Structure 1
Amino acid sequence: MMKAITSTNLDALTKAVQSLVIDAEYFLEKIETQSDESATNSHLDFGQKLVNLKRNLMDLDEAIVNSAHSAVRTTNQRVHESPWTSIFIAGCIGGILTLVSNRCCQKKKEMLNA
């Protein structure tokens, strides 16, 4: 079951984790004062919430991996379709990074010499 990564999915997962933390705190407080049967029921409810959260995390992990694989395939396809364009873009990015790096180094040298 593949789900797309959306902010709605991430918000729902965040709320589920927050709810689980609140339930864990509540469970730990109540376990000392509850009878054995009541504690067992609380434990089972908490366990079910953990299972559901684990399932949601596994779905999110699968969606992230599939998204990364898709990005790699798309990039690979574009590089093979037009290699010279890719080389040109990579060269431009490298040149820009070199210029920025040199300016930073020059400013540091000027500050040290002053």
Structure 2
Amino acid sequence: MSDTAEHREKLMADLKVVVADAEALLHATAGQAGEGVAELRQRVQASLSQAKDGLIHVQHAVVEKARATAKATDEYVHENPWSSVGIAAGVGLLVGLLIGRR
């Protein structure tokens, strides 16, 4: 499993914990206040912070993959300019045919 997929699964698990804690907080604060509520609020804050950190990490991983893909594409186009032109023309032709059928 890729690093990004693992982080995505971890993030989803963290978000589920945040939702569960938020629901518990809502139920707890409906009729009472006190030390239990303060502890629950701290748990919600910790879960939310962990989920935010996970989101930031996943975002950085996605940005880095996009940059690597863009760099590889740029290198390919520079090394094979005529092939790139041919591929672009073929894609344009296919898109034109598909649009023309409507």
- The reply to whether TM is greater than 0.5 is yes
CA deviation after TM superposition for structure 1 residue 62, in Å:
0.4
1:82 aligned residue: 80
Q: Secondary structure at the match of 1:5?
A: helix
Q: Secondary structure at the match of 1:24?
A: helix
For the pair 1:12 / 2:10, whether they are aligned, the reply is yes
1:26-68 deviation per Cα after TM superposition (whole angstroms, max 9, x unaligned): 1111123444222111111111111100100000010011111
Query: Could you tell me which amino acid in structure 1 is paired with residue 47 of structure 2?
Result: K
1:40 aligned residue: 38
2:96 aligned residue: 98
The 1-side partners of 2:11 and 2:88 are apart by 37
The 2-side partners of 1:11 and 1:52 are apart by 14
- Structure 2: 5+ residue runs without aligned partners? none
Query: Could you tell me which amino acid in structure 2 is paired with residue 5 of structure 1?
Result: T
Q: CA RMSD in A?
A: 1.6
Question: Percent identity at matched positions?
Answer: 26
Computing the radius of gyration over CA atoms, which structure comes out larger, 1 or 2?
A: 1
Q: Secondary structure at the match of 2:101?
A: helix
2:62 aligned residue: 64
- Structure 1: 5+ residue runs without aligned partners? 105-114
For the pair 1:54 / 2:52, whether they are aligned, the reply is yes
CA deviation after TM superposition for structure 1 residue 70, in Å:
0.7
Query: Could you tell me which amino acid in structure 1 is paired with residue 15 of structure 2?
Result: V
Corresponding residue pairs, total: 101
The 1-side partners of 2:9 and 2:50 are apart by 15
Query: Could you tell me which amino acid in structure 2 is paired with residue 90 of structure 1?
Result: A
